[in-house]
Structure 1
C-alpha cells in the first residue's frame, strides 16, 4: 500500500513458512511502518521458493520495490523437509502464478551482509522482526557489531518457557521450540548481548490457534484481495487442524503484530538460558540469578488480536 506518512522503519527476517509469509503480508498492511528489507533463512523453507513468494507479496502491496536477500546460514537441526516445501505451494496460487514479472529485487548480497548494509544506511533505528531462527542476525552482529546501535528493538518468535515445546524427534524430550532448536548456540549468543530483545514464545502463541471460526470470518470478507490471499494461505494449514497433538497456531503473525499493537499483550522480564545439549537442546528456561534478562510475551488479548487481523486484511492490492 502507498504509505505517505511513515512512523517506524522495519526489517523482517523470516524463514519462509506459511505463517512467515502471512506475517509479511500483515506487515505490508501496517500503515504505520516502512518495510526497508527482507531476509530469508533456509530453515522452515527452501529459500528460493520463499524469496519468490516474498517478492510477489511485496509487489502486490508496495508502490516502491523492496529487496529480499537469501541467507547462507545453516542450523544444527534441520526442519522436516515436508514443511519446507510449502512456499512453493503458495507460488502456485492464481494470484501469484499470473505474475509474469517481479519488480522487488533479489539481492546479490548474502543476507547477513545485506542486513548490515540496510541497518547502517538507515536514517533512524530499525525495528527488527524475526520469525525464524536467529542465525542470520547473529552472523550480521558478529561481522559488524556497530549495527547494535541501529536496532531499536528485536521482536523474535522463539522459545517455550513455561509450556511444552513443539520439537518432535526420536532423541529429543520435546521441551524446545523449533526456531531456537534449529541453532541453539546462536540463540544463546543472542540473548547474552544485552540487546532490546522481546521474545514471543509458545506460551503466548498457544492462545491463538488457527480455528475454523476465524477462517470463516476471513473468508466472509473475500471481496478484499488481501483477505482472499490470506484465506488461501491459511487453507493449506488445514491438514493440521484438528491434530491429535499438533495444531497450527499464528506463531509469526502474532509476533509481528506486537510491533504494531503492544497494548494487546502482556509481558515480563525473565532471566533465560538456552540448553545446548540433548535431550533438551534448544529448551528456553528460566535461570534466576544466572540467566540473561529478556522481555518475554506471556499472553495476548485473543479477540482483540483476531479482530485486528480481520480489520488489517480489509485491503486490496495496489498492483494489478
Structure 2
C-alpha cells in the first residue's frame, strides 16, 4: 500500500512516479537495476503495513500509473520527478542515473542530429562507378552516410574483374582497417538487353592497368563473392520501413528480382537516386552495335507534329547518324524491370538522366581539376587509380561524361544541382518505343500517344494499359552553365583524404 506522505522511505503519490520510472526505464537500460528496482519500488508501493485507510491500491492501479508515467516521460520535456525524488532509496540510484542520462539524450537542449542515411550502392563496375565508390566511401568516412554495401550488376562490365575492382578500391581506401559492413556482392539477375561486349571489356582493361595491379588484395573481404540478391533481401528485411537510400546507377534488374519475390520489401526504401534515361535529349545507343535500336523516324517526326529538332522538346533529329536512339542504357538494359518498378512501388525516385550528365564532360575542365587535386594528404593509390583510368579511357573520347557519378553526387550533395522537375513518367514497352521515358503531358499531346508506346499484347488482362509514375527529374546544375563546383567536389573525393592508406606517389599514364 501507499504512504501518502512518503515518510520513512515509503512510497507516496509524489514519489511513486520517479520510483516507477526508475523501475521501468532502469529495466530497459540495465538488467541488474531492473531486478533490484522493481522489487524495491513495487514492493514498497504494495506493502499493506504502510497503507493508510483512505489509500487503497491494487497491482492494477500501480501498473496503470506505470504506463502513464512512462508516457509522461517521453512526451513531456518538463516531466516532474516529484517533490520527494531526493528520497529515492539507494537501490534506485543506478536506475535513476540511467533515467537522467536517457532524459539528457532526449531533452538535452540540443536538437537531435539528423539521421545518417543508410545507403546501398548498386552499379555495374564501369570506370565512372569507381569515382562513385570513392564518393560513397569518402562520405561514409566523414559520417555523412552509413554505407551498408555495394551490389555489382553484371551489365557494363565482365566478372570477375568487375567485383575485383571494387575490392581493390576498398583495399586502397581502407587498408587493413576496414569498417564493419561495406559488403561487396554480385547480383545473379540478368539483363533483358545485354550491354555490348566492347563496352563491358573496359572493366578487364582497367583491372589490368599497372596502377590497379599495384594495389594489394583486400584481405578483409571474403574471397568468394556473395549473392547480391540474397544480401539485398536480408538487408531490407532487417531494416525499418522508409530507411534505406538506394544509389542505383545500373539497370533495375536486381530490384525487380527481389521485389517480385517479396513485394513488401519495397517499403523499406526511403528514396532511390537513379542514373538513367534521356528526357529531352537523344539516348546513347549506337547504331554501330545494331541499326534496329528504337529511334526517331521521319514518320514519327511528322506524326508528332514536330516543327524542328527540339521543338517541342521530344522531337529528335531523324537524320542523325549518331545518338538518335530513344533509350539510355540503364533503361534499355531492362525495360521490363523499369515498367515493373514504375507499376508496383511508390518510394520517391530522383532521376539523373543524360540531360544532366551531358553538362558534365570529362575531357577538358574536369581532367584539369582532377590533375590539380593532388595534395600530400591524398590517398595516393586511390588518386592514381582514378586519374590514370580517366586519362586512359575517358579523356581521349570527347563524348565521355560523368554519367553514373553525377547521380551519386546528387545523392550526396543535392545543393550542387538545380531544382528538380516533378512529373509523371511512363516507359515505352512496344518495340518501336522500348525504353523511351515519356511525360504524361507529352503522351496527352500524342508525342507519342499511349496506344503507340504501351505493349497491349503483354499487358492485356495483366496490368492497366499504362503506368505513369511520379518521378523527380534532375535536369540542371545549381549554377547553369558552370559545372566547376561539381568538378571540385568530384576531385576532392578522388583525393580520398579521409581514407586510411596510400602508398605510391601520384603518376599520370
* TM-score w.r.t. length of structure 1: 0.90
2:212 aligned residue? 96
Which of 495, 502, 505 aligns to 1:314? It is 495
How many Å apart are 1:270 and its aligned residue?
Answer: 1.3
CA distance in structure 1 between the aligned counterparts of 2:273 and 2:333, rounded to whole angstroms: 18
Answer whether contact 2:362 2:395 (CA < 8 A) is retained.
Answer: no
Which of 112, 120, 145 aligns to 2:263? It is 145
Which of 230, 246, 252 aligns to 2:386? It is 230
CA distance in structure 2 between the aligned counterparts of 1:233 and 1:94, rounded to whole angstroms: 10
Q: Show the 5 A alignment for 1:180-259.
A: 180-192=331-343, 193-223=345-375, 224=378, 225=380, 226-238=382-394, 241-242=397-398, 247-259=399-411
Uncovered stretches (5+) of structure 2, i.e. residues with no partner: 1-113, 296-324, 445-465, 503-509
1:119 aligned residue? 236
1:37 aligned residue? 149
Aligned residues between the structures: 312
CA distance in structure 1 between the aligned counterparts of 2:225 and 2:172, rounded to whole angstroms: 22
Report the structure number with the largest CA radius of gyration: 2
Note if 1:171 corresponds to 2:292: yes
The alignment yields a C-alpha RMSD, in angstroms, of 2.2
Identify the structure with the greater helix proportion.
Answer: 2
CA distance in structure 1 between the aligned counterparts of 2:276 and 2:169, rounded to whole angstroms: 24
Deviations 1:279-303 (A, max 9, x none): 3311111123762111111112322
SS across alignment from 2:160: helix
Answer whether contact 1:13 1:39 (CA < 8 A) is retained.
Answer: yes
Note if 1:14 corresponds to 2:134: no
* TM-score w.r.t. length of structure 2: 0.58
CA distance in structure 2 between the aligned counterparts of 1:144 and 1:36, rounded to whole angstroms: 20
Which has the bigger relative contact order, CA under 8 A and spacing at least 6? Answer: 1
Answer whether contact 1:19 1:250 (CA < 8 A) is retained.
Answer: yes
2:475 aligned residue? 298
1:64 aligned residue? 179
The runs of 4+ residues in structure 1 deviating greater than 4 Å are 106-109
Which of 225, 245, 248 aligns to 1:130? It is 248
Identify the structure with the greater strand proportion.
Answer: 1
Deviations 1:254-293 (A, max 9, x none): 1011111111222111111111132331111112376211
